[in-house]
Structure 1
Amino acid sequence: MFKNVFTFLLLISIEISVGQTLYKNQNYSEVNKTTHTYSSQGNKTLLLDFYKAKQNEQTTPLIIYVHGGGFSGGKRDESEIVSFATKLAQYGYAVASVSYQLTMKGIGFGCNVNTDKKIEAINTASNDVNLAVKYILENNNKFKIDTTKIVLSGSSAGAETVLNMVYTYKDGVLSPDFSYAGVIGMAGAITTLSNINENSAIPTQLFHGTGDRLVPYNIAPHHYCTPDSSGYLMLFGSKAIAKRLSGLGTSYYLYTIEGGSHEWASLPITQCFDEIIDFIYNDVLETESKRQTIRTINSVSPN
């Protein structure tokens, strides 16, 4: 009898301990990864990899990750992405790493590529990722995610995609009352700041190197193209987005790497995991208090 009571109390103690640190510390070891077709039209098949800890039966926040590659390359299951998604799942999150149409494959994304095609590529990727989220929402009986806690994240082209989804592009795929809970952009930018307002602003984390020559840290043309080039596209990078958010009472977390190049589009998932967890846990999940949180971190690139 005493043994049974002790075992029961021990289980309660473990559950309370996990509950107190869930999403902030590693609680699980084994992670399930499953692959799903979220869109199939003609010869276009789009997949997502879904990660969740084997023992995690709870309804959990979902982190969407969108890979980079200039809308012409990159894969959802690159080794660093798999490691990142697995580690997040060990902390208690569900993760979906999403493939999208690489419409610029064989074309590139440089100054000789028409501006309209660049914008179309970003919008197409945004639409694809929204379709992936719709698929998860419609099949939530098996995914078991908290539909009010979906966080977008992405690197380079993926960052441009997720920031575009939140602050620029609307496609009607998701219901009008749906809202993403947060967004993480790693060396990303948007084409306008005018749509960032009190109604649209959400907790935003931004990683960017000041020496990025592809996607501007502040305000500059994409790839620093000259005004007479066919690919001239003015972009508003991480600093400009943070400045816009600063006056709206919205949480943001700007991580600046002084002298950092565009490689910092991919480095945060391996070198800044703690900062990502800090943002999601404290700013998105609102476990501390409902207040504006402003974090501005300056780091120096080791390169």
Structure 2
Amino acid sequence: MKMPYLLLLLFISFTSFSITAQEIKTLTYFENDSTKLELDLYLPLKKSDKKIPLVIFAHGGGFSGGDRFGEKDFANSLAKNGIAVASISYTLYMKGKDFGCNSTLPEKIKTIQIGVSDMWQATSFMIKNKNAYNIDASKIFIAGISAGAEIAFHATFWDYSIMNLYSNNLPSGFTYKGLIGGSGAIMNVDLITSKNAIPMLLSHGSEDPTVPYATGSHRSCPTNSEGFMTLSGSYAVYNRVSSLKKNIELITSCGAGHEFCGYLFGKEPDYVLDFINNVIAKRKFESHIIIPNTKKSEDLSQYPFCN
């Protein structure tokens, strides 16, 4: 009786490995003499006659750490629902350096610009290979956590012709279908206009000291520091996009800090799935979901909805 049981276990293990191998493809999307950048492409096991949406995801880590492997459950949950996910590696320009108050503004801008250019390269790669992986290039969403969300914001709203560090390779007029950001920010919220605004799903802690929730200093740096940089976070973006009468959802965790950055991807992937389906169905929406403050001693009077 023991031998058939062991054989069964081996069969199950082999079958599970085979399914995973078919589901995740590791691809090189950019390579030169000094750099090789890869992505993991999560594809639905159930094949479709129709082209499928794609989410391109950038991890967090302050542009100095982190990797593309951290959100496998999120990627698998979307793939099981017919949506492909490309989780990318990108240049960690700040590895071994200070991305905080002892850095400089030009270095911070350069850091984001390199990450954004990598994202554009990954997007171009997926568009060029859309037929091989049954991707609908008109339904490409961009997503990220923390530093990855900063990449997503700037890849969406920076001027591609000016800020791209590589060859011009995205199709003329390309736009992402929607943006999903966890605790991200943009340098200038006025970059978002009625003409270029896209649907967004954002989450952020109201007391984030690393990436400002509203408009404030990156890493809470004082104004006289070398690394002072103003950023507009999710709440500022929400107010801007709402004023433009465009589609946006914000989830605010009152009293939470930067640890809330992974909420959408780690705890509530169904929010992401619903968002993608609503965007594809061209539904109108605007909402601000409030997670109540659990730190009752904290003064959150600047955000009345938190009290």
> Which whole-Å CA distance do the structure 2 matches of 1:122 and 1:74 have between them?
15
Give me the TM-score of the superposition, normalised by structure 1.
Answer: 0.85
SS in 1 for 2:43: strand
Query: What are structure 2's unaligned runs of at least 5 residues?
Result: 1-18, 296-307
Q: Which residue of 2 aligns with 1:234?
A: 230
Letter in 1 for 2:31: S
Instruction: Provide, for residues 172-207 of structure 1, a one-character-per-residue CA deviation record: whole Å limited to 9, x for no partner.
Output: 441231110000110000000122111110001110
Which of 11, 23, 29 does residue 38 from structure 1 map onto?
A: 29
Determine if the alignment matches structure 1 residue 131 to structure 2 residue 121: yes
How many residues were matched structurally?
269
Q: Which residue of 1 aligns with 2:210?
A: 214
Q: Which residue of 1 aligns with 2:6?
A: none
Cα distance change on mapping 1:52 and 1:273 into 2, 3 Å: same
- The 8 Å contact of residues 168 and 190 in structure 1, kept in 2 or not, is answered as no
Q: Which residue of 1 aligns with 2:274?
A: 278
> Which whole-Å CA distance do the structure 1 matches of 2:261 and 2:243 have between them?
26
Give me the TM-score of the superposition, normalised by structure 2.
Answer: 0.84
Instruction: Provide, for residues 257-280 of structure 1, a one-character-per-residue CA deviation record: whole Å limited to 9, x for no partner.
Output: 001110111232121222212211
Q: Which residue of 2 aligns with 1:54?
A: 45
Q: Which residue of 1 aligns with 2:91?
A: 101
> Which whole-Å CA distance do the structure 1 matches of 2:150 and 2:85 have between them?
19
Instruction: Provide, for residues 17-48 of structure 1, a one-character-per-residue CA deviation record: whole Å limited to 9, x for no partner.
Output: xxxxxxxxxxxx97610000010011200000
The alignment yields a C-alpha RMSD, in angstroms, of: 1.6
Give the 4+ runs in structure 1 shifted more than 4 A.
Answer: none
Query: What are structure 1's unaligned runs of at least 5 residues?
Result: 1-28
User: 1:301 Cα deviation (Å)?
Assistant: 5.8
> Which whole-Å CA distance do the structure 1 matches of 2:130 and 2:181 have between them?
26
Determine if the alignment matches structure 1 residue 192 to structure 2 residue 188: yes
Q: Which residue of 2 aligns with 1:24?
A: none
Cα distance change on mapping 1:126 and 1:146 into 2, 3 Å: same
Q: Which residue of 2 aligns with 1:153?
A: 143
> Which whole-Å CA distance do the structure 2 matches of 1:252 and 1:225 have between them?
29
Determine if the alignment matches structure 1 residue 224 to structure 2 residue 220: yes
Q: Which residue of 1 aligns with 2:263?
A: 267
Which of 105, 115, 119 does residue 109 from structure 2 map onto?
A: 119
- The 8 Å contact of residues 168 and 191 in structure 1, kept in 2 or not, is answered as no
User: 1:105 Cα deviation (Å)?
Assistant: 0.2
SS in 1 for 2:47: coil
SS in 1 for 2:116: helix
- The 8 Å contact of residues 123 and 169 in structure 1, kept in 2 or not, is answered as no
Instruction: Provide, for residues 200-228 of structure 1, a one-character-per-residue CA deviation record: whole Å limited to 9, x for no partner.
Output: 10001110000110000001010111111
Aligned-pair identity in percent equals 36
Cα distance change on mapping 1:206 and 1:131 into 2, 3 Å: same
User: 1:169 Cα deviation (Å)?
Assistant: 4.5
Instruction: Provide, for residues 100-153 of structure 1, a one-character-per-residue CA deviation record: whole Å limited to 9, x for no partner.
Output: 000000003110001111111111101001101111111122111111111101
Determine if the alignment matches structure 1 residue 67 to structure 2 residue 59: yes
Q: Which residue of 2 aligns with 1:15?
A: none
